Amino acid sequence: MALFSNGNRKVRSRRPRTAQELGKSPAPQAAATPRKLQRQSAELGREIHRLECLIADAPRLQKQRRLATLDVLPPLESQPVSRRGKKLSLAQRQQVNGRRWKLALEWMVVAAAIASVTGWLNQWLHLWGR
């Protein structure tokens, strides 16, 4: 029965393999040569060694990272804070509404000027017939 690691406790598999299942399992690769197996074994050994070193060095790396960022300020906000959630005072609301009315009036004057120039050109150049 296979054992699986669960922290410090060993847990047995729920379903043991029967002799029939073991007999049906695929045969070992016939094409695998001893050199290939040795190369794979060496690669796995190097990877295991690297991971063991990383695990052993993890507390030092964590402490080093914490000390490196100890005196660092958080980044400044690059985007301006949204005004939607903030309440405006009465004077600020009046300023905003005044600007809106002025902009609307400006657009109406521009539209009237364009309409009058178009009518004057039509009168002199007869662009549209009656």
Q: Are 3 and 16 in contact (CB under 8 A)?
A: no
- Lowest mean pLDDT: which of 11-15, 74-78, 97-101, 118-122? 11-15
What does the DSSP 8-state code read for residue 127?
Answer: -
Identify the residue with better confidence: 87 or 10. Answer: 87
Q: Is the pLDDT of residue 60 over 80?
A: yes
Q: Are 51 and 36 in contact (CB under 8 A)?
A: no
Confidence of residue 1 (pLDDT cuts 50, 70, 90): very low
| Rg of the Cα atoms in the chain | 40
Q: Is the dihedral of CA 7, 10, 15, 19 positive or negative?
A: positive
In this prediction, residues 20-29 reach a mean pLDDT of 65
pTM: 0.32
In this prediction, residues 4-20 reach a mean pLDDT of 63
